[in-house]
Chains A and B, each alone.
Chain A
């Protein structure tokens, strides 16, 4: 108990100051102040009210940001979707994309693995694998070339024109699973060198016209890829999986393998590549996912 004469603030301050900490890491006694009860009451009221306002703001912010489906589950049936919400959440995605872009180094190779580390690869076609009929008449169409022409190349032409490179890399799905798989294919960079895009091109749109949706109806799959990533030495236009030509499950006869991006950028059964100066549309970005997807 403090006796009465010690209650003078200067004496208290002194008693605290006298206790020098033994070392830098040692806990120091708390700073003490004497305050009029009315003032104390006033400060308490102010801070508790501020705290309450903060709690209400946090609740409102949560209601603003939560997906509509979640809100309906919480029995909020009013439509809370707004352009502001979309803008805000997309801004967060953009910041993440910018941070990732800053982390990205063109010269950095992704880890490669040995054959003993290979793991099973899901196909993720979700039961709607395309009918293999398309393979016999398959052509890769190139558009947006410096020559101004639209070029079609068949698979035999592609594999004889370019040397094949093998790599065992990890494919990471946006869902969280990943697989170490053994691929072989031509370097995207070599295709770009052989058929140069228009000089101002910064992007490639890679698409597959044979893709099907979950109910088996044709569903064009298109994806944006920046040319710097396309030119990465480990970005392949893969023709082989596990030493065998690609099966329909894995995107025969030619699929994109871009290990620095999420699996959803690794378009299967590519039918067309279009180069452009402007960023092209992206199938999954239009469905609420990031458009950058760099890992």
Chain B
């Protein structure tokens, strides 16, 4: 993380001529990329919440019905476990529904969930096309492509992240690895995988939505039932991506967050000096 531009800006502000009063900014994200990036937030939230309500109607992970409760749903077991073990939840009225009451639209609402899921799914596909158009128009897709050196660079980044808290603890300087690319190898891997996951979610979604008209699509994923399992686990990719993504954006600071809103960054040093992270 380098903030050398701030020194540069200060230097600028001391300049006298109004014509010379310039801040150097680097274009980072095309307008369409920024729009589709933020639209993904409500759309994916809608897809996940309605998706788990749909999951409720026929859970993928089931076991033999419990002789006492008749419960067969693993997600209900997790809810029961949470209510037994998390302080303050002992008196929760419907422990088997805890998961569905908290991370879905709710249990027993398949019809509403399906309607919302189709709506969000069509929006997700349209939004994906907007994203691809933005990547093409802005040329940003080149920054996402994997490189031969990515394995080695990713290790350097891992070393940095693992060492970072310890370095902070002993108040030692811990330098961010330097790259003269827009993203580091870990970012590239993440930003490349998520659109791939998006395509796979759409493909598995169609495979289970139209198994009779598109049986070849389900066959690619190992059949109708396997495509449902794929579709479920692909959801976790977004969840596992979003958590560190948000943490790291806040850790990296306002310039990075702002660049996804306004499109440019004031970290516009020549590439030789760029060594940032987000």
Contact = CB atoms under 8 A, between A and B. Distances in A.
Interface stretch (B21-29, B163-171, B195-203, B237-245): B21-29
Given A51-B261, A92-B115, A295 B213 contact: yes
B258 A176 contact: no
A44 B26 contact: no
B74 interface: no
Interface stretch (B76-84, B85-93, B152-160, B266-274): B266-274
Contact of A30 (B8, B27, B261): B27
Contact of B215 (A30, A40, A95, A110): A110
B122 A34 contact: no
Contact of B214 (A7, A9, A70, A103): A103
A2 B213 contact: no
A77 interface: no
Which secondary structure dominates where chain A touches chain B?
Answer: mixed
Query: Which of B25, B143, B182, B258 counts the most A-chain CB atoms under 10 A from its CB?
Result: B25
A108 B139 CA distance: 42
A104 B273 CA distance: 57
Nearest to A4: B11
A174 B261 CA distance: 40
Nearest to A91: B119
A70 B53 CA distance: 11
* Residue among B49, B212, B213, B261 with most chain A CB within 10 A: B212
Given A34-B22, A104-B213, A1 B115 contact: no
Contacts of B268: 30, 32
Contact of B210 (A15, A30, A58, A295): A295
A66 interface: yes
B3 interface: no
A48 to B, nearest CB: 6
A36 B21 contact: yes
A47 B203 CA distance: 34
Interface in B30-51: 38, 41-42, 45-46, 49
Contact of B228 (A12, A93, A176, A287): A176
B65 to A, nearest CB: 13
A15 B142 CA distance: 20
A259 interface: yes
A132 interface: no
B248 interface: no
A178 B224 contact: yes
Given A1-B269, A32-B26, A62-B42, A176 B58 contact: yes
B209 A295 contact: yes
Contacts of B228: 176
A194 interface: no
Contacts of B258: 44, 48
B54 interface: yes
B130 interface: no
Given A25-B142, A30-B27, A36-B22, A174 B106 contact: no
In this complex, the interface size class of chain B, counting residues with CB under 8 Å from chain A, is 35 or more
B211 A172 contact: yes
A29 B27 CA distance: 10
Contact of A48 (B4, B38, B145, B262): B262
Contacts of B210: 100, 103, 294-295
Contacts, number: 171
A295 B8 CA distance: 61
A294 B210 CA distance: 7
Contacts of B212: 108, 110-111, 170, 172, 259-260, 294-295
Contacts of A155: none
Given A7-B22, A48-B258, A89-B116, A61 B111 contact: no
B42 A58 contact: yes
Contacts of B16: none
Interface in A255-287: 259-260, 284, 287
Interface in B231-277: 258, 261-264, 266, 268-271, 273
Interface in A60-105: 61-62, 65-67, 69-70, 73, 88-90, 92-93, 95-96, 100, 103-105
B110 interface: yes
B137 interface: no
Nearest to A12: B24
B101 interface: yes
B22 A105 contact: no
A34 B225 contact: no
B62 to A, nearest CB: 10
B109 interface: yes
Nearest to A29: B271
A36 B15 CA distance: 12
Given A51-B261, A103-B213, A172-B224, A70 B23 contact: no
B50 to A, nearest CB: 9
A174 B268 CA distance: 53
Given A2-B8, A174-B110, 5 more contacts: A33-B25, A34-B22, A37-B23, A65-B119, A69-B112
Interface of B: 4, 8-9, 12-13, 18, 20-28, 38, 41-42, 45-46, 49, 54-55, 57-58, 101, 105-106, 109-116, 118-119, 122, 139, 142-143, 145, 181-182, 208-215, 224-225, 228, 258, 261-264, 266, 268-271, 273
